[in-house]
Structure 1
Amino acid sequence: MTDAQPLSFFARLGLAFSVLGDGRLAARLQALRNGAAPVEAVAPAATPAPVTPPAPAPAAVRATANVDAALQLLAALQREARFVDFLQEDIAAYSDAEVGGAARMLHGGARKVLQESFDLEPVRTESEGSRLTLPAGFDASAVRLTGNVVGQAPFTGTLQHKGWRATAVRLPALTEGHDARVIAAAEVEL
């Protein structure tokens, strides 16, 4: 067996998010880590054609999006976490430790903005990893089905992520003449 090339930071980060979102993948990686032989995926003999879950009723189309609110949130993330600076920076030349230090600062500031601006609650209250059954007519805008979706509800599966729902939003009112498009003012030291 040949040694694989090391993955870049972002490739590892993407893999980490894949493992967090897919319990089966996490179990297979854990088995590999514990020295078990890799399990090859076996295609089922015959599978019925996938059926798309019921689509939610189309939401009323809003005349315009509230761009100012999005810009306010982006400005708050920049002010507290230097979010835009972090994402605009080419971090390929930095070590994982340096990126990790920056991510810790970004996390603290972004978390502060999130807590000051929103009240959040999980969409589902069951523990992640628990089995649950979704009845016919479940809210397809609040629950996304993944995996082998076949047939009609009720669907029984494993909760991979609880989801999040905003129960309150607190963004300050804009003052007259404020240009929300300026996310962070340029700084000139005299």
Structure 2
Amino acid sequence: MRLGLALRAFWKALFEPKVAERVALALDGPGSLGAGSAAPEVAAEQKPVVAAKPKSAQSEAIALLAALQRDARFVDLIQEDLDRFSDEQIGAAARPCLKACRQTLDRLVAIKPLVDAADGDVIAVDETASAARVRWVGESSGASQAKLVRKGWEATKVQLPAWSGSDDDAKVISPNQVEAV
């Protein structure tokens, strides 16, 4: 492998002056180029090294759940024992929660439909569409059109809050709320 690399570098350096300058710079350092050389051009051509972004201790799923809980009390609602409430009580509690969840998702994820059509409309189906974008109900038989049973959704942005807490607290969705006795 190194022999092949050396031969490629030799031939490129022999016929391409800019490559020769970069090879000299790599082998001997910045002082290796002559006084009239194009060292600034070489430096400008090189891509800057981007430091790896440190992996957050908190997963994006926990960050999203924490935002939904903070803004809409979403986890409280789904963890509640709903059997002890009437449908009217559940509906009254769910309406404001669901509205606040939608606002939070619009702010953090910006969700939009995959197609601009209503359920029941006939839509064109691209034969190369992935299973993530089209799920056939029944047999497809290679159809290029289909009735939309339920539209899909996609995120147009993901802008979750950055985690700034400790690793020990990274899985906490919401804190206990307490008051003095």
Alignment TM-score > 0.5, same fold = yes
Match of 1:92, SS state, is: helix
The answer to which structure, 1 or 2, has the higher relative contact order (CA under 8 A, 6+ apart) is 1
Give, in angstroms, the shift of residue 130 of structure 1.
Answer: 1.7
Q: Identity of aligned pairs, percent? A: 37
Number of matched residues?
Answer: 125
Question: Given residue 113 of structure 2, which amino acid in structure 1 is its aligned partner?
Answer: P
Give, in angstroms, the shift of residue 150 of structure 1.
Answer: 4.8
Correspondent of 2:115 among 114, 121, 124: 124
Give, in angstroms, the shift of residue 128 of structure 1.
Answer: 2.7
Q: Look up the match of 2:90.
A: 99
- Structure 1 moving runs of 4+ over 4 Å: none
Q: Look up the match of 1:188.
A: 178
Question: Given residue 123 of structure 1, which amino acid in structure 2 is its aligned partner?
Answer: L
Give, in angstroms, the shift of residue 176 of structure 1.
Answer: 4.8
TM-score (structure 2 length as normaliser) = 0.61
Moved more, 107-116 or 134-143: 134-143
TM-score (structure 1 length as normaliser) = 0.58
CA separation of 1:176 and 1:182: change in aligned 2, threshold 3 A = closer
CA separation of 1:168 and 1:150: change in aligned 2, threshold 3 A = closer
Give, in angstroms, the shift of residue 127 of structure 1.
Answer: 3.3
Q: CA RMSD in A?
A: 2.4
Question: Given residue 183 of structure 1, which amino acid in structure 2 is its aligned partner?
Answer: I
CA separation of 1:176 and 1:90: change in aligned 2, threshold 3 A = closer
Gaps of 5+ in 1: 1-63
Give, in angstroms, the shift of residue 154 of structure 1.
Answer: 3.2
Tell me the distance in 1 between the aligned counterparts of 2:92 and 2:135: 34
Q: Is the 8 A contact 1:135 1:154 kept in 2?
A: no
Correspondent of 1:88 among 57, 79, 86: 79
Moved more, 132-141 or 180-189: 132-141
Q: Is the 8 A contact 1:117 1:171 kept in 2?
A: yes
Tell me the distance in 1 between the aligned counterparts of 2:75 and 2:151: 28
